[in-house]
Chains A and B, each alone.
Chain A
Amino acid sequence: DVKVTQSSRYLVKRTGEKVFLECVQDMDHENMFWYRQDPGLGLRLIYFSYDVKMKEKGDIPEGYSVSREKKERFSLILESASTNQTSMYLCASGRTVGFYGYTFGSGTRLTVV
C-alpha cells in the first residue's frame, strides 16, 4: 500500500516565522505535489517536482518555495508565514509511467497567528 506521510497533522506558527512542511513517500514515485485546500476553492497546486532537485511552479506559488533533495522527500517552505497562509496543506505523489492519479498524505492543518 502506497504511503505518503506528512510530518505534522496540526501546526500553529506566528506571522513572520519560517515554516517547513515535510512529506515522504515510500513507493519510489517520480512526481510529488503540494496542494493547498480551502473551502469553496478546491485543491490548488502550489508547487510540484518531477525529479530530485527539480521543481515547477503551480497555480499559486507566491510566498512558498520547495526542496527536493531526495526522491522520497518533498518539502514545502513558507519563507515568512502570513495569516492568509492559514490552510490545509496536502502532499501527493504519483508515477510518471502508468499514471493512475495520486496518493495523498493526510494533510497538515497550518494556522498562522
Chain B
Amino acid sequence: GENVEQHPSTLSVQEGDSAVIKCTYSDSASNYFPWYKQELGKRPQLIIDIRSNVGEKKDQRIAVTLNKTAKHFSLHITETQPEDSAVYFCAASQGSNAGGTSYGKLTFGQGTILTVHP
C-alpha cells in the first residue's frame, strides 16, 4: 500500500519568513496530492491540491510542487502570518475509480506543526 513520509514534524518561523514542508510517497500510481490545514480544535480543511499532470500550483501565498520522478511534493508558504500557525498534513491518493478499488482513499503524512512567531 501507499506510504507517505512528511518532514519536518515541527517548524518554527518568524512572521514574514517562508515555510516549506516536504513529503515523499511510495506508490507510483498515486496521482492526487492534497494538503490539509488543521487549526487547533478544528477539523482538517483542504487548502491546496495538485494532480500528477501538473508540476506546480499556486494560490496566493501558498504553492505546491510535485516531482513525480522522485516521488516527492512540497508545500511552500510565503510571507507567513501568525494565522498560518496550524498542523499541516500532506496526503496521496490514486484518486477515485468507480471501476477499480481505490475509492479515493487518502494516505496521510504524519503532520507538521507550524508555528509563526509575530
Report which A residues bind B (CB closer than 8 A). Answer: 30-31, 33, 35, 40-45, 48, 50, 56, 58-59, 90, 94-102, 104-107
A45 to B9, CA, bound (A): 20
Report whether A42 and B111 are in contact in the complex, using a CB–CB cutoff of 8 Å: yes
Please report the total number of B residues contacting A with Cβ < 8 Å: 28
Number of A-B contacts (CB under 8 A): 72
Interchain CB contact (< 8 A) of A43 among B1, B89, B93: B89
Interface mask (B38-58 → A, CB under 8 Å = 1, otherwise 0): 000011111001000000000
Report whether A99 and B93 are in contact in the complex, using a CB–CB cutoff of 8 Å: yes
Main DSSP-derived SS at the A contact region: loop
Report which B residues bind A (CB closer than 8 A). Answer: 1, 6, 9, 32, 34, 36, 42-46, 49, 89, 91, 93, 95-98, 103-111
A33 to B91, CA, bound (A): 14
A104 to B98, CA, bound (A): 21
B contact residues around A43 at 8 Å (CB): 44, 89, 108, 111
Contact A96:B43 (CB < 8 A) given known A42-B89, A43-B89, A59-B1: no
Closest CB-CB distance, A13 to chain B, in whole Å? 21
Closest CB-CB distance, A36 to chain B, in whole Å? 11
Report whether A99 and B98 are in contact in the complex, using a CB–CB cutoff of 8 Å: no
- Could you list 22 A-B pairs, sorted by A, with CB under 8 Å? A33-B105, A35-B108, A40-B111, A42-B89, A42-B110, A42-B111, A43-B108, A45-B107, A59-B1, A90-B43, A94-B96, A96-B98, A97-B96, A98-B96, A99-B95, A99-B104, A100-B46, A101-B36, A101-B91, A101-B93, A102-B104, A105-B43
